[in-house]
Chains A and B, each alone.
Chain A
Amino acid sequence: MTSRQFFNRLLDLLIVLFGVSIIVFLIIRLIPGDAVAIMLGANTEITDVGLAELKARLGLDQPMIVQYWHWIGNAVTGDFGESIWTGRPVISEIAANMWPTIELTLLATLLGAGLSVPIGCFMAQTRGSASEVTVRMFAIAGLTIPSFWLGIVSIFLVAKFLPGTSMLGYVPFTEDPIENLQRMILPVIALALPMLANLSRLIRSAMLDALNQDYIRTAKAKGAGRRRIVYKHALRNALIPFITSVGVSTGYLLGGSIVIEQVFAIPGLGRLVLGAIAERNYPLVQATVLVMTTAFVLVNFIVDLLYAIIDPRIRTGAHGAAT
């Protein structure tokens, strides 16, 4: 990747993040009626003094542009204000709930992406009319099975047949690694399955494409072994669409973790944002949405850069800018 391409990507990234921040900023202002009254109304009686006080505290009594400027200026330094009800800084609430979500997403990515490569390669090599339909059915079933239902059913089965197993809640890894991983097993599987189905199918079709290319014939003609052809030549090319998909999947995983955390009572960002919506703690909603979306955007930016390492055509710009 030339430095020019890099700066263009960086500019794109900044524009997207700017747009995202405006949308998140608007959440609290788009609520029909007086958002501040709604926020107060959830817990206490509304008084004019209380209303004005909270408005001033949230800066809602100033012009929009000034409000945005203050909000984004504070946000980039990690200052999202204080949680309305607990009085703790919003950022520390996020920090406290961040690790379970990160662990869940990371483990699900490892499981889903890791297993999909051998499964996809296997499927590509054993293709035939019967297996093709089976593969397709399984892939679609994997995509359309509701992951939270899978979670619920697995809780039921474990409770029924392995009574006494602890599977709900979260134990920090630093406290008890074994307990931590044991409780992560079911949620990670439930979260990773649709991703696994999607990615194995993608690897399979990308491998079939790659195996039909001229360079594979050349490699065969030169007498390269089957293993070398599959893993060295075909897989490396198949990995290019694969990596984008893994990046895009993080968005699915972050969204899916909101539901899975609810099923398994894991105190992560998903539970935080749902709790915040329930108690109308809008600054916390805004901060959580902004942090999760920024993480997703950054992951995809990094994936974009990773391309250049895997695909020399992009690094040198030989094939034009493949985006």
Chain B
Amino acid sequence: MRFVRNNKLLSFAIVLVASQVLLALLAPWLGFQDPYNQVMVQRMKSPNTLNLLGTDHLGRDVLARIVHGYRTSLFSSGLAVAFSLLVGGTLGILSAYYRGWFDRIVMRLMDILFAFPIMLLAIAVIAIIGPSQWGAAIAIAIVYIPIFARLLRGPSLVICESEYVLSAKAIGAGDGRIVFLHILPNLASVILVQSSLLLSAAILVEASLSFLGLGAQPPVPSLGLALSEGRNFLLLSPWPAVFSGFAILFLSFGFNLLGDAVRDTLDPRLRSHNTIN
């Protein structure tokens, strides 16, 4: 029974994520309006047949801005998660594999990066490299490196102690072969689950950064930016702010649910609560 229920949840999560990701990927070819096109006579319209979600303070189509905003959001957060997985994950696996002084030094460095509140470190990084979509991506990537390193080091330690790794070593397999053929495949489920959960959180961080003016810059369509622009015209027209907020929520919710459901399906023992910070 539980298996079926979990799979229902999983299929719901997959549909939710896939539809939003596809919408973002295919946005330029799906016949949406031009997200940059300003129609001054059509400013701050409520939802209508021409503009399904209304227009913003510059007369741009909110639906088109949101769909293209998905692209901006997924670009920054996806790039950040991929990069931090690559760097942090590698550091975590190698720390577990080599142990000793390498492990101690790397993990100390990770402790230090981990000591910063996430948003604060991201903001400090952007203070250095300047605000942009890329800036947000790099900032989030740096913040997530210690998280991935810690998340993958634990399970890697267990795998390194396992009999199949010991026997691989005994028959003289090289380091590269052991890491890629024996350790990495066994980490696949952890990587899948955590990437999805962290992507969900990264989407929120990216939205916060662009809300603060530290991410994508106008006139790039961005969900966080739309919220900060929309908030100045709330009483005249709440729609851009309301719909952009829902878009961020659905996107982040989808990935979080996906990570959660995948974890249950692949390995119910891994079941623990979700963390944010």
Which residues in A have some Cβ–Cβ distance to B below 8 Å?
A: 12, 15-17, 19-20, 23-24, 27, 30-32, 129, 133, 136-137, 139-141, 143-146, 148-149, 152-153, 155-156, 159-160, 194, 198, 201-202, 205, 245, 248-252, 254-256, 258-259, 262-263, 273-274, 277, 282, 285, 289, 292-293, 296-297
Q: How many residues of B contact A (CB 8 A)?
A: 51
Contacting pair B117 A255 (CB below 8 A) = yes
Instruction: Assess the B124–A27 pair: CB atoms within 8 A.
Output: yes
Residues on B facing A (Cβ under 8 Å): 1, 5, 9, 108-109, 111-113, 115-120, 123-124, 126-129, 200, 204, 207-208, 211-212, 214, 227, 230-231, 234-235, 238, 241-242, 244-245, 248-249, 252-253, 256-257, 260, 271-277
A285 B273 Cβ-Cβ under 8 A: no
13 A-B residue pairings within 8 Å (CB atoms): A27-B128, A144-B249, A146-B207, A149-B248, A160-B235, A250-B117, A252-B118, A255-B120, A256-B119, A262-B212, A274-B212, A277-B214, A289-B120
Q: Which residues of A sit under 8 angstroms from B252, Cβ to Cβ?
A: 144, 146
Name the residue among B113, B127, B271 with the largest chain A CB count within 10 angstroms: B127
B127 touches A27 (CB 8 A): yes
The residues of A that contact B230 with a CB separation of less than 8 Å are 152
Complex Cα distance A12/B108, Å? 9
A198 surroundings in chain B (CB, below 8 A): 273-276
- Contact indicator A140/B256 (Cβ below 8 Å): yes
Complex interface: chain B residues within 8 A of A274 (CB): 123, 212
Query: Which residues of chain B have C-beta atoms less than 8 A from A153's C-beta?
Result: 241-242, 245
A303-B117 Cα distance, complex, nearest whole Å: 16
Additional 7 contacts, C-beta under 8 A, given A198-B274, A205-B271 = A19-B112, A146-B204, A149-B248, A152-B227, A152-B245, A251-B117, A259-B119
Q: Which residues from chain B contact A152 at a C-beta distance below 8 Å?
A: 227, 230-231, 234, 241, 245
Q: Which residues of B contact A289 (CB under 8 A)?
A: 116, 120, 123-124
Also in contact, A156 and B118, with CB within 8 A (given A140-B274, A201-B273)? no
CB distance B212 to A259 under 8 Å?
A: yes
A254 to B212, CA, bound (A): 15
CB-CB under 8 A for A149 and B227, given A19-B109, A296-B117: yes
**Nearest CB on B from A187, distance (A):** 14
Given contact pairs A31-B128, A274-B212, A143 touches B120 in the complex (Cβ within 8 A): no
